[in-house]
Amino acid sequence: EAQVTQNPRYLITVTGKKLTVTCSQNMNHEYMSWYRQDPGLGLRQIYYSMNVEVTDKGDVPEGYKVSRKEKRNFPLILESPSPNQTSLYFCASTYLRTNEQFFGPGTRLTVL
Amino acid sequence: KQEVTQIPAALSVPEGENLVLNCSFTDSAIYNLQWFRQDPGKGLTSLLLIQSSQREQTSGRLNASLDKSSGRSTLYIAASQPGDSATYLCAALSNFGNEKLTFGTGTRLTIIP
């Protein structure tokens, strides 16, 4: 089944403790993105990647890092999480032919 | 800067009725517009994608239209069912290259049995 997977789905952590949210897609898509969803603000892009080893900032990149060493994986790294990073995070990959985006199930992160 | 608006924020209708959800965007230079469904605590499910060269797309009981000149898109749901209850999001792709979708904040739809 074609899909985008994320892990973990739920995470509660404390300020300053480094964490990684993994994202993987099995559709051989070049483009991948990370978004965060907050009440009243909608979804906002954090980082995107056009291909392996090519990443760039979205609208709200502060406090986040990403890497793209393989085509299928695009992990989101929070080196020193803070409470304002409490949010619902979505990974997405793009089918280049139509530019349709497919989203993962989301990761709900709480930083205490 | 693209801005996407969805009004109303919430809508309740009796089962069986046809309904229209609205989406407006400020920059008409979009590449495509995508409608999603989001169930509570769940991810986003893509419903329909309309390319900028298209006027509408249909899938089952859903029909989405696009009017770039007026900066509007609508999602029409025919013969609504309780299972249609969810939040519906529209998103515009207006800058090919960064694959950034600009999302509206959604319309929370409740179908009353």
Q: Give the pLDDT confidence of B73-91 residue by residue, as tens digits.
A: 999 999 999 999 999 999 9
Note the pLDDT tens digit of each residue in B8-38: 999 999 999 999 999 999 988 898 999 999 9
Virtual torsion, Cα A111, A13, B101, A1, nearest 10 deg: -150
Nearest to A102 among B46, B98, B106 (CB): B46
| Burial of A70 per CB tally in 10 Å (0-12, 13-18, 19+) | exposed
pLDDT over threshold 90, residue A83: yes
Work out the end-to-end distance of chain A between its first and last CA atoms, rounded to an integer number of angstroms.
36
Do residues A89 and A35 touch, judged by C-beta distance below 8 A? yes
pLDDT over threshold 90, residue A17: yes
Long-range residue pairs from A67-74, CB within 8 A, at least 24 positions apart, any chain = A68/A32, A71/A28, A71/A29, A71/A30, A72/A24, A72/A25, A72/A26, A72/A28, A73/A22, A73/A23, A73/A24, A74/A23, A74/A24, A74/A25, A74/A32, A74/A34, A74/A49
Disruptive mutation site among A43, A51, A60 for chain B (greatest number of B CBs within 10 Å): A43
> What average pLDDT does the segment A88-109 reach?
92
All residues of chain A having their beta carbon less than 8 Å from the beta carbon of residue B104 are 42
CB contact under 8 A, B44 and A103: yes
> What average pLDDT does the segment A75-80 reach?
97
> What average pLDDT does the segment A19-36 reach?
96
pLDDT over threshold 80, residue B96: no
Nearest to A42 among B43, B98, B104 (CB): B104
Amino acid at A70: E
Nearest to B105 among A40, A90, A103 (CB): A40
All residues of chain B having their beta carbon less than 8 Å from the beta carbon of residue A99 are 31-32, 93, 96, 99
> What average pLDDT does the segment B68-76 reach?
95
